[in-house]
Amino acid sequence: MHAWLISDSPASRLQASAGRAYRASGMLLRNPLAVAGALIIGLLIFTAIAAPWIAPESPVGQNLSNRLLPPSADHWMGTDELGRDIFSRVIYGSRITLMIVALVAVISAPLGLVIGAISGYFGGWTDRILMGLTDVFLSMPKLIMALAFVAALGPGIENAIIAIAITAWPAYARIARAETLTFRNAEFVSATRLLGASHSRIIVRHVLPLCTSSMIVRVTLDMAGIILTAAGLGFLGLGAQPPLPEWGAMISRGRVFILDQWWVATMPGLAIILVSLGFCFLGDGLRDVLDPKSAGKS
Amino acid sequence: MSFNPNVPHMRLARFARSLGGFAVITVLTFLGLMAITFFIGRVVPIDPVLAVVGDRATNEQYEAARVAMGLDRPLIMQFFSYVADVVQGDFGRSVSTGRPVAQDLVRVFPATLEMATIGIIIGVVLGVPMGVYAAAHAGSWADQVIRVLALLGYSVPAFWLGLVGLALFYAGLGWVGGPGRIDVFFDGLVEPVTGLLLVDSLLDRNMEVFRSALHRIILPATILGFFSLAYIARMTRSFMLDQLSQEYVTTARVKGLSETRVIWVHAFGPIRVPLITVIGLSYAGLLEGSVMIETVFSWPGIGNYLTTALFNADMNAVLGATLVIGAVFILINKISDVLYRVLDARSR
């Protein structure tokens, strides 16, 4: 199996890509921070799936006789002002966080990828206009722009996701364009064109796949920022609305109690830090493996 | 086009041309910024008139407001008059304060500027040496600690750190002052000259006010500084690593120069220019980061103004603040870009 995977002359496409993945994961496993990051993300996904079995109590509903209890054996993270178990809410909150990052990635990465690839592939005026637009968005402060968009769209988790996606795509467009430029005039592209392939087929089948590895790195590194922005919108009351157990919104509820019942605001924050740190670690490690040129830069 | 780049007047001409192109790009970026705020204000809300008159207005009132807002004209004409207004410093009137938004912004901006400036000073003074040390001892435990610290700067929510800081250092230890810019007791004691409370109180030689203001600014500014420290240390480390692997550094070492000299003179020298860009970027980033910090600390700056306006659905104020923060952000970006071109021998 090992020999088949690291073979220098793969017999099939499957063997080649399996071998590449095998080598990359081998390098990733030697990077302790990347392993830690992957474990944290794995934990997040597992928690989100298994939330009803892990959480000792329901994330909603009230139990006013138990309000604002400090952390104890019964309530690992204490309880909030409505007597809800904070640990259970943090566990369920992982579903919301995972949904936000997944949706933002699914919306903004392909959008940026397509815009960047079209821009780099066609060049000329198409390139100038698209990149001008990208640069304007890039030069705007992301959080402020997301805030303004949500202000206009109205608060809510869907609008928060849309607003974050709108601010996230330009970075991907830049990367996709830079990658596309490097092989726009490559021989395999000319050969495909000679075979009669259309522009859209060349972009979708031949250009985009080559951009994916640097995109994966970038998206992973951006995840921490996306989580922080989403939590920030939740904190300001513009993102997920109560009683949804969104971590940022939970911190916002605990703000009033911060001086006496510190756990209400502190605990959800620890979850945000852990998950963001996980994405940072994994992104750093992935970059060292997939994109060694830019290693160490942010 | 060929010319000798070493002839001074040619160099000047080329520089002027690149500056000209640069000005065009900057103006276009500002137009783009205005297009975005215009879009957010006029196109995204389902009915901007309803947002102004409220849903109890009669049809006549509604129609009058619509004409008064110029919404019966084509979108492109609306955009032009919007740009003309903004260029003249007219952002409309704030619904919640009743004053022109521009006046409000001038009043609140110094508070943000003061906090962000102290923040960036903390970030540079601590971040640069940390980055250099980490690079000089790459792989050591100190390097790992700095790396994790820097990554924490990307993973900790600013508002959470603010709350925890308040609980720990204000309520718990009593080392710093509470939320707000100054004790109510001292409020209005010092004549605002620059709007920067620390500077004004020094000008007034009022040390009590100065101490009170310092007591309150230190925590939010340090938290802001931590975020710029994280970014600056990380970038400094990576720049330094690039330099330290260069052959001239090896040459300097072979010549027997002390390690301190090699690091701080030979390796650090060339990275000063790119570092300016990094510092500029993180300064601009602090203006953005202050939105969250100001909300937590009830700091009467532009971020607090923005979030307060958000809750009151005061769209003129939201867009005005967005525009100003965006413009300052772009301006700092462009200035550090120009500085880079002027200072970096290779791009001259």
Query: DSSP string covering A230-274, please?
Result: HHHHHHTTSSSPTTS--HHHHHHHHGGGTTT-THHHHHHHHHHHH
Burial of B51 (0-12, 13-18, 19+ CB in 10 A): middle
Burial of B189 (0-12, 13-18, 19+ CB in 10 A): middle
pLDDT of residue A99: 93
Show residues of chain B in contact with A147, CB under 8 Å.
291, 306-307, 310, 318, 322
Instruction: Confirm whether A242 is domain-assigned.
Output: yes
Instruction: Confirm whether A65 is domain-assigned.
Output: no
From the list B111, B108, B117, the residue with the least C-alpha distance to B305 is B108
Distance between CA atoms of residues A232 and B83, nearest Å:
30
pLDDT band (50, 70, 90) for residue A296? very low
A273 touches chain B (CB under 8 A): yes
B315 touches chain A (CB under 8 A): yes
pLDDT of residue A295 exceeding 60: no
Query: DSSP string covering A187-231, please?
Result: HHHHHHHHTT--HHHIIIIIIHHHHHHHHHHHHHHHHHHHHHHHH
Show residues of chain B in contact with A232, CB under 8 Å.
157-159, 292
Buried b (16+ CB within 10 A) or exposed e, B271-291: bebbbbbbbbbbbbbbbbbbb
Q: What is the CATH number of the domain that holds A266?
A: 1.10.3720.10
Long-range (24+ apart) CB contacts under 8 A made by B334-341 are B334/B22, B334/B26, B334/B29, B335/B280, B336/B276, B336/B277, B336/B279, B336/B280, B336/B281, B337/B22, B337/B277, B338/B19, B338/B22, B339/B276, B339/B277, B339/B280, B340/B273, B340/B274, B340/B276, B340/B277, B341/B15, B341/B18
Taking 3-state DSSP, the helix, strand and coil percentages for chain A, each rounded to the nearest 5, stand at 75, 0, 25
A105 touches chain B (CB under 8 A): no
Across the interface, which of A140, A231, A238 has its CB nearest the CB of B157?
Answer: A231
pLDDT band (50, 70, 90) for residue A107? very high
DSSP code of residue B191? -
pLDDT band (50, 70, 90) for residue A298? very low
With an 8 Å Cβ cutoff, are B285 and A237 in contact?
Answer: no
Centre a 10 Å sphere on the Cβ of residue A235 and count the other Cβ atoms it contains.
31
Q: Phi and psi for A85 in degrees, rounded to 5?
A: -75, 115
Across the interface, which of A33, A279, A296 has its CB nearest the CB of B238?
Answer: A296
Across the interface, which of B41, B155, B289 has its CB nearest the CB of A280?
Answer: B155
Amino acid at position B266, single letter: H
Across the interface, which of B32, B241, B287 has its CB nearest the CB of A136?
Answer: B32
Give the bridge partners for B93, in sequence order: B100
Chain B residue with minimal CA distance to A251? Answer: B160
Q: Write out pLDDT tens, residues A268-282.
A: 999 999 999 999 989
pLDDT of residue B42: 75
Instruction: Confirm whether A67 is domain-assigned.
Output: no
**Residues 5-34, chain A, touching B (beta carbon < 8 A):** 33
With an 8 Å Cβ cutoff, are B29 and A139 in contact?
Answer: yes
pLDDT over 90 percentage in chain A: 27
With an 8 Å Cβ cutoff, are B155 and A277 in contact?
Answer: yes
pLDDT of residue B2: 45
Cβ contacts below 8 Å, chain A against chain B, sum to 151
Show residues of chain A in contact with B156, CB under 8 Å.
269, 272-273, 276
Instruction: Confirm whether A26 is domain-assigned.
Output: no
Give the bridge partners for B100, in sequence order: B93
Distance between CA atoms of residues B235 and A293, nearest Å:
15
Instruction: Confirm whether A39 is domain-assigned.
Output: yes
Distance between CA atoms of residues A97 and B92, nearest Å:
37
Chain B residue with minimal CA distance to A298? Answer: B235
At which residue do the structure tokens 């000008």 appear?
Answer: B203
Instruction: Confirm whether A151 is domain-assigned.
Output: yes
DSSP code of residue B73? S
Low-confidence ranges of chain B (pLDDT < 50): 1-3, 348
Instruction: Confirm whether A9 is domain-assigned.
Output: no
Note the pTM of the prediction, 2 decimals. 0.85
Residues 6+ apart with CB under 8 A from B261: B252
Q: Write out pLDDT tens, residues A13-64.
A: 788 778 878 877 887 788 888 899 999 999 999 999 988 888 787 777 777 7
With an 8 Å Cβ cutoff, are B163 and A251 in contact?
Answer: yes
pLDDT of residue B128: 93
Distance between CA atoms of residues B323 and B102, nearest Å:
11
Show residues of chain A in contact with B333, CB under 8 Å.
139
Residue A99 domain boundaries: 35-59+72-290
The yes/no answer to whether this complex scores an ipTM above 0.90 is no
- Residues A278/A37, Cβ–Cβ less than 8 Å: yes
- Residues A123/A245, Cβ–Cβ less than 8 Å: no
Instruction: Confirm whether A140 is domain-assigned.
Output: yes
Total domains, chain A? 1
A111 touches chain B (CB under 8 A): no
B190 touches chain A (CB under 8 A): no
